[in-house]
Structures are given as structure tokens and as C-alpha cells.
Structure 1
Amino acid sequence: MRHTSTAVLAAMASLALFSPTSHAAEREVASYALDTDVTVFTDLRTRGLSDSLMRPAAKLGLQLAHESGLVAIVEVVNVSKKQFLNGRGIDVTIGGGYRFGDPEAWHFGVGLAAELFPGARFEAPHGFDMADFTPTGVRSTSYNSRFALFEFGYGNVEGRLLDVISKTYRGADTGGVCGSLLQFSADPTPAFECYARGDHNSRGSLLFDLTYKTDIAPATTLTLHAGRQRVANFSEANFNDYRVGLTRKQWGFEWNADWVMTRNKVRELYLAIDGNKVRATDKDKLMLSVTRRF
């Protein structure tokens, strides 16, 4: 089972609208802004977990903001095919929403978002016959997820809550969670106990984020982040993530250094097979990245 959001899932999106207004024979068009950014990472981390199997990754982001408060975003990033099986190695985030309030005081946002992994899915048993110890109900599960989003901010603090409205969150169902326990645990008992609870999905999972940013020097920003993931029907998949980061704006680029950490209950859920090796995707790590905005 692979978990992430994305820091990218924080962005809300919708089609930008032009608002024509009549002034005598003249029509004026409301203003909007289009921002593009390209980022290169030494390791792509989402909620503290690697989506690129501890290898470099690159992201393209587009955001269209309308003066009415509507904002649109599309982000495309490469991910590991060994983690997101049978896919094209691409993660696409899109969505829609509206922001309102005072940017210098309380401000809020609501919206919808989707994270898509084209072609990526896995097959796993969704049941287990304890009488003869054989798996049952083998079927396919997609990694795609959809979210309802609420965000708020005041001063240097930004908060965010995402509610999973799709059937599963990044493949988290009985096949994904119990199957991972059965595959990687030395003791099969937790996997059998997981299967014994019945066939479940993870709709209703909640993702929490709280971020504090402050300038500590000219063109230099300190970021402190804490997150919580609560996976519906699978408490063993709950975990916390933390990040301490520095961003320096220099020569037209943003240079970032982030120390990322996760604290989870069951590490077997965050392992991936890389050739003949089993690799952990949840190790604490210093992640470097550089962003260019256009």
C-alpha cells in the first residue's frame, strides 16, 4: 500500500472564469494570474514518504488564479513504477475550489481535488480462508484518490483538512493493507487479524496538515510542518509526519532543504520491492530541491 498527498493536494482548482461587466458600450474582463513552476527533487516525499523510491524526481505545476477567488491547479510529477505498479510512472493532481477572506488575517478555502496515477493498479486477495489458509476474492485496486478540501490560515500559520471521498485512498483497502502485512511481516498473525475484520475500503480517511512559515533572514524562510493521516477501517496505517525546511531565494531560483520524518505503527505498510531488495520508504531523510517559477 502506498500513502502520500500530498503537499500537492493542498492546492484547490477550478476552471478560471472571465467576468464581463458592461460599461456603456465597453466590456471589461476581470484579471487573473497564471503561474508556472518546475521543481527538481533529490527524493520526492509526500507526507514524509518517498513516492520515487528514494530517487530523483521532477514536477511541473500550473496554477490559474482569478480575482473572484477561484483558483485552478494542475501538477504532474514522476513516481516509481515499482511502488505504483503497472502504471506509467506519472502522478497527476487536479482539482477545483474557491478562496476567500483577508490574506493578512483570517482566510479560508474549500474545494475538490483528485490524484491520478494513469494505469497504476495492483491485484491482491481481499479475503483469506482460515480453514485451509488460502487467499480468496482476488481483484484489482486502483491507486487513484479523490478529496474534499478545507483550508484556513492566519498570519504565518496555514491549516488543511482533506477528506477522502473516493472508494480508496491510494490503494488502501483490504487487499492493499492486509496484503502488505502478509507479504512483508515475519509473523503472519497481524495479516490474518486484518483479513478477519472483513473486506473494507478506506473512504472517509482524513488527512490533517499544519504549517508555520517565517522569514529568518532576507530571502530566507523557515518552514515547520506537522501532519496526521487517519485511514478509515485500517488504524494500523495511521501515522504522523513532520518537516523542518529552509528556503532561499537566489539567482531567480528557490533552493530548498527539508528534513522529513514519519512516525508510524506498522512499517511493513511502507516497504517496496526494488529488484531483489526490500526498501523502506519512510526513513528520516534530508531532501533537497530547487524550483524555478515563471
Structure 2
Amino acid sequence: MKYSTKLKVLTVALASALGGVPAAYAEDAVAVASADKSPHTLSTNIGFFTDYTFRGISLARERGAVQGGIDYSHSSGFYLGAWATNMNKDAFYGNTVELDIYGGYVHTLAEDLSLNLGFLQYFYPDGDRPVSGTGIKGANPNTTEINAALSYKYFTLKHSYALTNLFGVNDGYGGNGNSRGSGYTELNVNYKLPIYDVNLALHVGRQTVHNYSQASYTDWLVGVNKDFSIAGSAGWNAGLNYTTTNASDSWYVDARGWETGNDRFIGYIKRTF
């Protein structure tokens, strides 16, 4: 779910790269192998964030998150990766760890124009414990999404579609039936500013939850980040994001009354190897 952003070497989307933005953006962090070298590319990444925010919703409760992943890509356009993060136990039924497996295919349609078709599987090892302090118990939060993204220069338009219940929302959680068929549509802009080699990240996304209109919302993000080296060691990136949502405070709230969709700043530093 890397909305907190997973590192983005492939300019497709969000990604984690929006640094701290979202969860699910891991599949956008794949580096495409160069045709004049080996057709295979393997990279790893690790990052430290002041919060894990997925689609504008805080899943670490602003207590910090360590995130890392491994990505493989082939010069043909196929890619596969895995990514993990810690999270607050009140976010998803007592789970403290999220593991994402993702893959797909990137095809160049024209100069600066590409199409990315992929899948993303979210795993929560602790399953579906009742929500802390409540009697609420949804389905297992493990979720499968398929997605399609169209990228042109520094713009990426992406849609994700849930093949399963969306993070455990079902009759046992909300009483209105299953949430299969939920969708998330987002527009991302990643642009290098002409000053100090600073990158500008802009994002807007719309989460719709099938059968649960009260859980649907829009999120926004604006951030800046910079690539740099330390003692000749490249691959570093640090930044600051501001994110906010119009999510319902009655739906996106934990057992202690903490509203998870409120606006916040997210700082981070990460490195790709």
C-alpha cells in the first residue's frame, strides 16, 4: 500500500515515490533494465518516514515507519517486486506489518508515453483480529488489486480496481455487503524544478468503496524532494510532503478517537541500491 511511497525509479506513478504518499505505489518503483546492458535489473530500497500514509490515511498513526523493498525488471518491460512496512496495530485488525507483492508490464507507446498494466497483493500476516476496543471484525484485510497507468512525461494517470473486499470491509464491518469492485483513481505529477535540482510531487486521488459511499473520499498531496549523494554514495533521496483528505471523520477514526484522514506533514529519507 505504499502510499507512503515506495521508491520510484520507473517514472510511472506515484509511488512511493511521492515519498510518503502512498501504499501502494510499490509497483511504480520498478527500474526498467537498460537494453544496452544486461536485460535484467535488480534493485533494493529502504526508507525512514515520519508516518506511513496510504491514500491520505495514516496507518502508522504518525509514529514513524521503516519501509523497504526489492525490485526486479526485464528489458522487455516485465517487472516483479516486494515491499514491506511497519504499521500501527489499530490500523488493520491488530496487524503491525504489511507485505506487498506486485508485478506487471510496462509498454512504450510513443516517445515519453507509456502504459503500465499490473497487479498488487497486500498481505497482513496477523489476519483479522477484532478492531482494538470495539466489537468490529471485518473479513481478512488481505486485498488484491489490478491496475493500469498511463504516463506522459511527468504526468501519470492510474486506476486500481479491487478484486477482493477492500482491506476487510464487508458485512461484518459495515453491514452493507462486500466491498469488491472498489476503485482508486489518481493523477500524479513529478517535475524537476529549475532550482537546486529539487523535485516537485503533486497528487490527487479518489477512493470509492463499493456499497459504502460514506467511506469514499478524495486525497491530495504536495511535496518536494531532492536526490543526493553521501560521501560519494549515490541513490539517496529526502523530502517533505503535505497531505490531506476530505475523508469522513466518523469512518476514518480509530478506537481512541484519532482521526486518520486529517492533514499532516511527512518527512522522509530513503536510499535505492
- TM band (smaller chain): 0.7 to 0.9
Report % sequence identity: 23
Which residue pairs with 1:207 in the alignment?
184
Corresponding residue for residue 48 of structure 1: 56
The answer for unaligned runs of 5 or more in structure 2 is 4-21, 29-36
Of residues 93, 98, 110, the one that matches 2:105 is 98
| Structure 1 runs not aligned, ≥5 long | 14-28, 125-134, 179-194
Residue matched to 1:34: 42
Provide the rounded CA distance (Å) in 1 between the counterparts of 2:2 and 2:251: 16
Which position in structure 2 is the counterpart of 1:268?
250
Instruction: Provide the C-alpha distance between the structure 1 equivalents of 2:71 and 2:109, rounded to a whole number of angstroms.
Output: 20
Q: Deviations over 1:223-254 (max 9, x none)?
A: 11000001101111110000000011223421
1:269 is displaced (CA, Å) by 1.3
Counterpart residue number, 1:71: 79
1:246 aligns with one of 211, 224, 229: 224
Q: C-alpha deviations, 1:186-207, integer Å up to 9, x for none?
A: xxxxxxxxx4xxx511000011
Q: Which residue of structure 2 lines up, in the alignment, with residue 23 of structure 1?
A: none
Q: SS where residue 212 of structure 1 aligns?
A: strand
- Say whether 1:279 aligns with 2:258: yes
1:10 equivalent to 2:25? Answer yes
Check conservation: 2:253, 2:259, Cα contact below 8 A.
yes
Conserved 8 A contact 1:12-1:110:
no
Partner SS for 1:286: strand
Q: Which residue of 2 aligns with 1:150?
A: 148
Shift of 1:267: 1.2
Q: Does the aligned pair in 2 maintain the 1:8–1:75 contact within 8 Å?
A: no
Highest relative contact order (Cα 8 Å, sep 6+), 1 or 2? 1
Q: Counterpart of 2:145 in 1: which secondary structure? A: strand
1:109 aligns with 2:106: no
Tell which structure's C-alpha radius of gyration is larger: 1
Q: Residue 138 of structure 2 contacts residue 168 of structure 2 at CA under 8 Å; is this kept in 1?
A: no
The whole-number CA distance in structure 2 between the counterparts of 1:112 and 1:153 is 17
Aligned twin of 1:188? none
Q: Deviations over 1:262-292 (max 9, x none)?
A: 112x21211112xxx3211111011101011
Kindly report the root-mean-square deviation, in angstroms, between the aligned alpha carbons of the 2 structures.
2.2
TM-score (norm 1): 0.75
**1:223-242 alignment runs, 5 A limit:** 223-242=201-220
- CA distance in structure 1 between the partners assigned to 2:242 and 2:191 by the alignment: 17
Give 1:123 deviation, angstroms. Answer: 4.3
Instruction: Identify the structure with the greater strand proportion.
Output: 1
Equivalent residues in 2 for 1:81-230, closer than 5 Å: 81-87=89-95, 89-102=96-109, 104-123=111-130, 141-166=139-164, 168-176=165-173, 178=174, 195=175, 199-216=176-193, 217-230=195-208
Cα contact 2:140–2:167 (8 A) shared by 1: yes
Decide whether aligned partners of structure 1 residues 248 and 139 sit closer, same or farther in structure 2, where only a CA change above 3 A counts: closer
Structure with the higher helix share, 1 or 2: 1
Hey, what's the Cα distance between the residues in 1 that align with 2:52 and 2:138?
Answer: 26
